[in-house]
C-alpha cells in the first residue's frame, strides 16, 4: 500500500504531481534543492487545488484537508523518512539523475519505489547507480498531471514485475490511465506520437502549405476530436467499415504511401521552420496570453474529462 508520497523537484510537473496526490488524500511531502523553488511549488499546488474547487473537481469542504496534505520539507532526509513512493521530477539529464539517485538511496528504505517523471530518458541507464534497481521505473505523466489521466510506466532492465504491478494498480485505483511499455524507447509512447505530428505540423508551416493558425485548427477540429475518444488503430478499424482494420489497411491505407513519401524526415528543426513557428505563434500570444490559455485549457479539459467519464 503506497501512502507516504515524496515529491522530489517542485517545478511545473512536480507541483502538478503534488496537486494530484494531495487530491487523492495522500500525505505528500515536497522537496527541492532550491528552497525558493520548493516554496513556489507548494504555492502552485495550492492554487491548483483551489482552482479544482472552481471547476467542481474538489468539494469546497474538502479543500482544507487537501491543502494540509501538502507538506514542504527542508531536507532530503526528512522527505524520505518512512516514504513509500518517490516521484522524481528533477532536470532531464542522466548526470543529474545519477547524483539525485545516489543521494536518495542514503535515506530511502529498500522497499520504497522510485518513479521518474522523465519524458524520454531510459530507466535502464538511470538505475545503474542504484543498489536496489528493481524498485525503480519511469512514471511519465502528461502535462498537467493533476488533470490528464495518462501515465506511462516504463520499466528498466532491472525493474521487477512486482514494482510495475504495484504502481499500475495504485494509479488505477485513483483514476489514472497507466500504460505499460514492453521495452524502452526514447520518448516512450505519447511523446513519440506527438513528435511525429509536430514534425509534420512544422513541415507544413515551413513549406507554406497553410498558416500556423489553420494547421492547428485542422488538427484540433479534425483528428484531435477523435483522439479524445479512441486511438489511431481503433479509429481506422471503424474507417474500414464492415471489413474493419484489414479493409482499411488494404484499401485506403495504400494511399498513405504517397503521403509518407511526400513528408519530411528531418531529425533537426530547420532554422526556417523555427523562425516561422515563433513568428506564427505571436498573434495568438498577443490575443490570448499563455496564462489565460492555460486556464481556458484546464476548464475545457475538466469538462471533457467529465463527459468521457460518463
The region that residue 25 occupies, defined by phi over 0 for left and psi between -120 and 50 for alpha, beta otherwise, is left
131 and 78 within one domain: yes
Q: Residue 75 falls within a domain, yes or no? A: yes
- 130, 152, 180: which is the final residue of a domain? 180
14 and 157 within one domain: yes
What does each of the 310 residues of the chain score in pLDDT, given as a tens digit? 788 999 999 999 999 999 999 999 999 999 999 999 999 999 999 999 999 999 999 999 999 999 999 999 999 999 999 999 999 999 999 999 999 999 999 999 989 999 999 998 999 999 999 999 999 999 999 999 999 999 999 999 999 999 999 999 999 999 999 999 999 999 999 999 999 999 999 999 999 999 999 999 999 999 999 999 999 999 999 999 999 999 999 999 999 999 999 999 999 999 999 999 999 999 999 999 998 999 999 999 999 999 988 7
209 and 300 within one domain: yes
278 and 164 within one domain: no
Residues of the domain holding 64: 5-180
Q: What is the DSSP string of the chain?
A: ----EEEE--SHHHHHHHHHHHHTT--EEEE-SSHHHHHHHHHHHHHHHHHHHHTTSS-GGGHHHHHHTEEE-SSHHHHHTT-SEEEE---SSHHHHHHHHHHHHTTS-TTSEEEE--SS--HHHHGGG-SSGGGEEEEEE-SSTTT--EEEEEE-TT--HHHHHHHHHHHHHTT-EEEE-SS--TTTTHHHHHHHHHHHHHHHHHTTSS-HHHHHHHHHHTHHHHHTTS-HHHHHHHHTGGGHHHHHHHTGGGGHHHHHHHS---SS--HHHHHHHHHHHHHHHHHS-HHHHHHHHHHHHHHHHHHHH-
Q: Residue 84 falls within a domain, yes or no? A: yes
275 and 236 within one domain: yes
Enter the pTM of the model: 0.92
Dihedral angle at the C-alpha atoms of 98, 103, 108, 113, nearest 10 degrees?
-20
- 123, 149, 180: which is the final residue of a domain? 180
Using CA atoms, how far residue 172 sits from 4, 11, 22, 199, in Å, is 17, 25, 16, 32
Q: Residue 106 falls within a domain, yes or no? A: yes
Rounded Cα–Cα distance for residues 257 and 72 (Å): 54
For the chain, what is the domain count? 2
175 and 38 within one domain: yes
Nearest Cα residue to 32 out of 20, 41, 43: 41
Domain harbouring 162, CATH code? 3.40.50.720
173 and 81 within one domain: yes
Q: Residue 185 falls within a domain, yes or no? A: no
Domain harbouring 229, CATH code? 1.10.1040.10
165 and 44 within one domain: yes
17 and 151 within one domain: yes
Rounded Cα–Cα distance for residues 204 and 196 (Å): 13
205 and 133 within one domain: no
Rounded Cα–Cα distance for residues 305 and 181 (Å): 24
- 158, 180, 202: which is the final residue of a domain? 180
149 and 36 within one domain: yes
Whether 201 and 214 have beta carbons less than 8 Å apart is answered as no
173 and 208 within one domain: no
Amino acid at each position: 500500500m503506497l501512502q507516504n508520497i515524496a515529491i522530489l523537484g517542485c517545478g511545473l510537473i512536480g507541483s502538478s504531481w503534488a496537486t494530484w496526490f494531495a487530491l487523492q488524500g495522500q500525505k505528500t511531502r515536497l522537496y527541492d534543492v532550491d528552497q525558493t523553488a520548493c516554496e513556489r511549488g507548494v504555492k502552485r499546488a495550492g492554487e491548483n487545488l483551489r482552482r479544482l474547487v472552481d471547476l467542481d473537481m474538489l468539494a469546497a469542504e474538502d479543500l482544507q484537508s487537501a491543502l494540509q496534505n501538502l507538506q514542504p520539507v527542508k531536507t532530503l532526509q526528512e522527505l524520505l523518512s518512512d516514504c513509500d513512493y518517490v516521484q522524481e521530477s528533477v532536470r532531464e539529464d542522466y548526470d543529474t539523475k545519477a547524483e539525485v539517485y545516489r543521494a536518495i538511496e542514503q535515506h530511502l528504505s529498500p522497499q520504497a519505489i522510485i518513479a521518474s517523471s522523465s519524458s524520454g530518458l531510459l530507466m535502464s541507464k538511470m538505475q545503474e547507480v542504484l543498489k536496489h534497481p528493481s524498485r525503480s521505473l519511469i512514471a511519465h505523466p502528461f502535462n498537467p498531471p493533476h488533470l490528464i489521466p495518462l501515465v506511462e510506466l516504463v520499466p528498466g532492465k532491472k525493474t521487477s514485475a512486482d514494482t510495475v504491478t504495484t504502481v499500475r494498480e495504485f494509479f488505477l485505483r485513483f483514476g489514472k490511465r497507466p500504460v505499460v511499455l514492453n521495452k524502452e524507447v526514447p520518448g516512450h509512447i505519447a511523446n513519440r506520437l506527438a513528435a511525429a505530428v509536430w514534425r509534420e505540423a512544422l513541415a507544413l508551416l515551413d513549406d507554406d502549405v497553410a498558416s500556423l493558425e489553420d494547421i492547428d485548427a485542422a488538427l484540433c477540429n479534425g483528428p484531435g476530436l477523435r483522439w479524445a475518444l479512441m486511438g489511431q488503430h481503433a479509429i481506422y478499424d471503424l474507417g474500414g467499415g464492415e471489413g474493419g482494420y484489414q479493409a482499411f489497411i488494404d484499401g485506403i491505407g495504400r494511399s498513405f504511401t504517397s503521403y509518407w513519401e511526400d513528408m519530411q524526415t528531418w531529425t533537426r528543426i530547420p532554422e526556417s521552420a523555427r523562425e516561422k513557428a515563433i513568428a506564427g505563434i505571436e498573434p495568438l500570444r498577443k490575443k490570448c496570453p499563455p496564462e489565460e490559455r492555460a486556464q481556458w485549457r484546464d476548464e475545457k479539459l475538466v469538462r471533457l474529462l467529465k463527459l468521457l467519464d460518463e
